[in-house]
């Protein structure tokens, strides 16, 4: 049912993925920085994911035109076929297995959980990788309906025949392969290259991800929220005092370098951006040393260099970073 929905010129096909259900595979070479696909939600439910029940899906379904109702029915049938008859509310299960957050919120631990989930027939066919070659950035501008479309962008060149994969869960950047395998709420075992026993960078990859989790704890004084249910737990409430902002900025930047080395470009620019935000907050005070400002310029250049490798829609804040660097540079000049 899914292949018939692909617009002409779509650079991928949907077919069985070894060891998984369906997957999305490139049918031509896709260059880096490409926009691969764009899809509007079939419908949206304005409820927190965990609270969506049969009455919500029912109400949304009744508002659809007959074509969309038929598509959703086919999806429920597809999921029922894949999953067997084990779900009491197959419509809810089908919705939850095929939804993305469409509220347009940036990923931010301090933001309240956004309440808008959209159903996507094609985008939901993509499988997960812990070292993805594509991304659905969360910063897409909202459309006329007020909701974010699913926009799939290439993170690097994707060869013909290669499966197109994105990261389902931000927590994976902070977990070793063994920990990722033990995530209790996952319904599958990841078979991506980074989770393969023969991954040549296994030891380095595990060290980098463990370091990122440790640095997250030192920076925020709490575990990565999505990791906090896992064993072994990281201490939840730090007892030591908060380090000075320059130190935290340094840890953010180190996290950026580690994420870049791990091949997680989106996460890397997030960390460099966070480091720069801290440097802005201290730049007006005596805490800003010439050395700190020079470091901030280096981090800004790093942010811009990684951004250059990505589709412009994947990155927010390029203009702001360019302005900041000009400010930092002028302050350095003023101080010397
Ligand atoms: Zn994996």
DSSP 14-42: EEE-TTSSEEEEESS-B-TT-EEEEE--S
Query: Is the same domain home to 225 and 112?
Result: no
**What parts of the chain have a pLDDT lower than 70?**
85, 104-114, 139-146, 184-187, 228-240, 285-288, 333, 335-336
- Give the CATH number of the domain where residue 21 resides: 2.170.270.10
Has residue 69 been placed in a domain?
yes
How much distance in Å is there from the Cα of 251 to the middle of ligand 1? 25
How much distance in Å is there from the Cα of 130 to the middle of ligand 1? 4
How much distance in Å is there from the Cα of 128 to the middle of ligand 1? 7
User: Which pLDDT does position 270 carry in this prediction?
Assistant: 94
pLDDT digits (tens, 9 = 90+) for 72-120: 999 999 998 887 767 788 899 999 999 988 876 544 445 555 678 899 9
Only one residue has tokens 């392969």, namely: 177
How much distance in Å is there from the Cα of 154 to the middle of ligand 1? 18
- State whether ipTM is beyond 0.85: yes
100: β partners: 118
Parent domain of 261: 202-335
User: Which pLDDT does position 108 carry in this prediction?
Assistant: 46
Task: State which of 142, 168, 194 marks the end of a domain.
Answer: 168
Query: Is the same domain home to 14 and 146?
Result: yes
Query: Is the same domain home to 65 and 122?
Result: yes
Query: Is the same domain home to 225 and 306?
Result: yes
How much distance in Å is there from the Cα of 334 to the middle of ligand 1? 48
Query: Is the same domain home to 154 and 16?
Result: yes
Has residue 136 been placed in a domain?
yes
Has residue 329 been placed in a domain?
yes
Query: Is the same domain home to 223 and 296?
Result: yes
Has residue 173 been placed in a domain?
no
Query: Is the same domain home to 35 and 104?
Result: yes
Number of domains in the chain: 2
How much distance in Å is there from the Cα of 315 to the middle of ligand 1? 24
Has residue 188 been placed in a domain?
no
d(CA 88, CA 110): 35
Instruction: Note whether 130 and 166 are within 8 A (CB).
Output: no
Query: Is the same domain home to 132 and 265?
Result: no
How much distance in Å is there from the Cα of 172 to the middle of ligand 1? 8
Task: State which of 117, 152, 168 marks the end of a domain.
Answer: 168
Burial class (CB in 10 A: 0-12, 13-18, 19+), 213: buried
User: Which pLDDT does position 123 carry in this prediction?
Assistant: 95
How much distance in Å is there from the Cα of 323 to the middle of ligand 1? 37
How much distance in Å is there from the Cα of 278 to the middle of ligand 1? 32
Has residue 185 been placed in a domain?
no
Query: Is the same domain home to 220 and 158?
Result: no
User: Which pLDDT does position 8 carry in this prediction?
Assistant: 92
Task: State which of 117, 142, 168 marks the end of a domain.
Answer: 168
pLDDT digits (tens, 9 = 90+) for 282-324: 877 665 678 888 899 999 999 999 999 999 988 988 999 999 8
Only one residue has tokens 């009455």, namely: 55
How much distance in Å is there from the Cα of 288 to the middle of ligand 1? 40
Has residue 182 been placed in a domain?
no
**Is-cis flag, bond preceding 232, omega within 30?**
yes
Query: Is the same domain home to 138 and 20?
Result: yes
User: Which pLDDT does position 139 carry in this prediction?
Assistant: 60
DSSP 278-329: HHHHHHTSTT--HHHHHHHHHHHHHHHHHHHTS-GGG---HHHHHHHHHHHH
Query: Is the same domain home to 292 and 206?
Result: yes
User: Which pLDDT does position 106 carry in this prediction?
Assistant: 46
User: Which pLDDT does position 49 carry in this prediction?
Assistant: 83
How much distance in Å is there from the Cα of 93 to the middle of ligand 1? 24
How much distance in Å is there from the Cα of 326 to the middle of ligand 1? 40
Query: Is the same domain home to 65 and 117?
Result: yes
How much distance in Å is there from the Cα of 208 to the middle of ligand 1? 15
Instruction: Note whether 49 and 176 are within 8 A (CB).
Output: no
Has residue 23 been placed in a domain?
yes
How much distance in Å is there from the Cα of 333 to the middle of ligand 1? 46
User: Which pLDDT does position 112 carry in this prediction?
Assistant: 54
User: Which pLDDT does position 267 carry in this prediction?
Assistant: 94
User: Which pLDDT does position 109 carry in this prediction?
Assistant: 47
How much distance in Å is there from the Cα of 126 to the middle of ligand 1? 14
How much distance in Å is there from the Cα of 167 to the middle of ligand 1? 9
How much distance in Å is there from the Cα of 132 to the middle of ligand 1? 9
């Amino acid at each position: 049912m899914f292949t018939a929905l692909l617009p002409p010129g779509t650079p991928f096909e949907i077919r069985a993925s070894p060891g998984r259900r369906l997957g999305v595979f490139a049918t031509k070479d896709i260059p880096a920085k490409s926009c691969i696909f764009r899809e509007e939600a079939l419908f949206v439910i304005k409820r927190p994911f965990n609270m969506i029940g049969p009455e919500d899906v029912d109400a949304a379904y009744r508002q659809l035109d007959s074509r969309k109702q038929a598509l959703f029915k086919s999806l429920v049938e597809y999921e029922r076929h894949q999953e067997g008859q084990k779900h009491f509310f197959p419509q809810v299960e089908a919705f939850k297995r095929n939804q993305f957050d469409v509220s347009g919120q940036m990923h931010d631990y301090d933001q309240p959980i956004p309440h808008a989930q959209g159903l996507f027939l094609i985008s939901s066919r993509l499988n997960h990788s812990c070292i993805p070659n594509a991304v659905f950035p969360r910063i897409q501008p909202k459309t006329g309906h007020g909701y974010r479309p699913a926009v799939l962008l290439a993170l690097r060149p994707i060869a013909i025949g290669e499966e197109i994969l994105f990261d389902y869960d931000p927590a994976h950047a902070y977990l070793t392969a063994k920990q990722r395998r033990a995530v209790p709420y996952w319904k599958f075992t990841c078979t991506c290259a980074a989770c393969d026993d023969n991954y040549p960078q296994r030891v380095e990859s595990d060290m980098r991800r463990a370091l990122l989790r440790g640095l997250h704890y030192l920076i925020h004084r709490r575990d990565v929220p999505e990791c906090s249910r896992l064993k072994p737990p990281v201490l939840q409430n730090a007892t030591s005092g908060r380090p000075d902002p320059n130190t935290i900025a340094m840890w953010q930047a180190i996290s950026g370098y580690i994420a870049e080395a791990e091949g997680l470009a989106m996460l890397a620019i997030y960390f460099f951006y966070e480091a720069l935000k801290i440097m802005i907050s201290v730049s007006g005070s005596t805490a800003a040393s010439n050395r700190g400002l020079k470091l901030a310029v280096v981090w800004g250049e790093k942010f811009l260099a990684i951004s250059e490798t990505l589709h412009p829609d994947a990155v927010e804040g390029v203009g702001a970073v360019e302005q900041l660097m000009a400010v930092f540079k002028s302050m350095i000049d003023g101080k010397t």
